[in-house]
Amino acid sequence: MKTCAIVDLLTNSKTSINEHYPKLKNIQVIGVDISEQRMHLCRNIVEKYHVNKTTCGDEINKNVKSRISLYCADGKTFGTNLFDPSTLIFDSIVALEEEAQKGERKRMNKSARARHNRKLRKVVSDEMKSKSNHEGTDKDDVIITVPLFDHVLVDAECSTDGAVRHMMHKLKKHDTACTQNLKLTDTNNLLSLVKLQKDLINSGFRLLKPGGILVYSTCSLSTEQNEDVVSWLLQEYSMDAYLIPVSFADEFKIDDNKDMIFEGSLGGTVRFHPNVVIQTEVDFNSRNAMFGGGFFLAKIGKRVT
């Protein structure tokens, strides 16, 4: 019902990745979200685990540098001529430099803020310059302005009907969003939500490198927002996109998974049914504890042409 990832234990094995990328030196992770409020929270979390010396831990592997940048921008147009480069609100290299310089001072004064903004602008212009020329225009004649990505995650906005814990929390507060989920039940609302999801997956796919991997996910279990969106993309990019079938139940040989993890109506996609068992201390056991919220995911590859 509740899970966490333990950072320290991640050092236990150093296998798989090395086989795929033996010379890897730099990882660049870019996060985009449209909501200023959510992005503020996101920035705090990234600062805690990546910048702040007392909470970010020791950098165990000095051979590989990771950089995280955050844009408070519309995911539908990110990385194209339609997106505004000044939406970069955080870059971990700039943040780490400033962390090293600032010493005791907590707040930035006017000139420090101006310097900060100049640095961020330079990060964006460097990013755009590093785009190679062959990564040309998209089929909708949208010009892509950033280098393409190896991995893209599109966890689209959805009607959140699978997020049971979140819904129960709302129910306690007598929030009508869970008893009248208009995003799901009102036809027009649902249509505009599905349109947004198609625009997001389309945007993610056009920013994907040939040979790269995209995962589309939602915390809804409605077919319109999941299988239908993925099928639409596969049709729209029938020459380039293909579904990579995944399964979480077979590989790990746990029979118990069978009533929690299902194949979607589009073969090769996965649906996780929500775990509604409340884990009190008394009945905390491995069977019930291992599953979380309702969730859908599909893995899509881009052909090398």
Residue 144 near other proteins by CB under 8 A: no
Check: CB of residue 57 under 8 Å from CB of residue 5. Answer: no
Residue-wise burial string across 233-246, b where 16 or more C-beta atoms lie within 10 A, e elsewhere = bbeebeebbebeee
Rounded to an integer, what distance in angstroms lies between the CA atom of residue 230 and that of residue 220? 14
Q: Specify the residue, 112 or 215, whose C-beta has the smaller distance to other proteins.
A: 215
Tokens of 132: 């190679």
Residue 29 near other proteins by CB under 8 A: yes
Backbone angles phi, psi at 67, to 5 degrees: -130, 130
Q: Specify the residue, 118 or 211, whose C-beta has the smaller distance to other proteins.
A: 211
CB of 210 to other proteins, least distance (A): 8
> Which residues are within 8 A (CB) of 46 and not within 5 positions of it... i.e. 6 or more apart?
31, 68, 70, 90, 92
* Residue from the set 89, 152, 241, 266 that interacts with other proteins by CB under 8 A: 152
Q: Specify the residue, 3 or 109, whose C-beta has the smaller distance to other proteins.
A: 3
* Residue from the set 116, 248, 262, 264 that interacts with other proteins by CB under 8 A: 248
Backbone angles phi, psi at 150, to 5 degrees: -80, -40
Residue 20 near other proteins by CB under 8 A: yes
Residue 301 near other proteins by CB under 8 A: yes
Residue 23 near other proteins by CB under 8 A: yes
Q: Specify the residue, 112 or 288, whose C-beta has the smaller distance to other proteins.
A: 288
Residue 16 near other proteins by CB under 8 A: yes
Total residues binding other proteins (CB under 8 A): 116
CA 157 from chain centre, in angstroms, equals: 11
Rounded to an integer, what distance in angstroms lies between the CA atom of residue 150 and that of residue 136? 17
Stretch that binds other proteins, among 116-124, 142-150, 167-175, 181-189 (CB under 8 A): 142-150
Residue 134 near other proteins by CB under 8 A: no
Residue 111 near other proteins by CB under 8 A: no
SS3 for 60?
coil
CB of 110 to other proteins, least distance (A): 29
Residue type, 227: E
* Residue from the set 96, 112, 142, 249 that interacts with other proteins by CB under 8 A: 249
CB of 296 to other proteins, least distance (A): 9
Rounded to an integer, what distance in angstroms lies between the CA atom of residue 145 and that of residue 158? 28
Rounded to an integer, what distance in angstroms lies between the CA atom of residue 124 and that of residue 88? 7
* Residue from the set 114, 215, 221, 264 that interacts with other proteins by CB under 8 A: 215
Q: Specify the residue, 120 or 299, whose C-beta has the smaller distance to other proteins.
A: 299
**What residues are paired with 21 via a beta bridge?**
none
Going by the DSSP 8-state scheme, the letter that residue 51 receives in this structure is I
Residue 145 near other proteins by CB under 8 A: no
Rounded to an integer, what distance in angstroms lies between the CA atom of residue 229 and that of residue 300? 12
The binding track of 56-85 with respect to other proteins, each residue x by CB under 8 A or -, is xx-xxxxxx-x-x-x----x--xx------
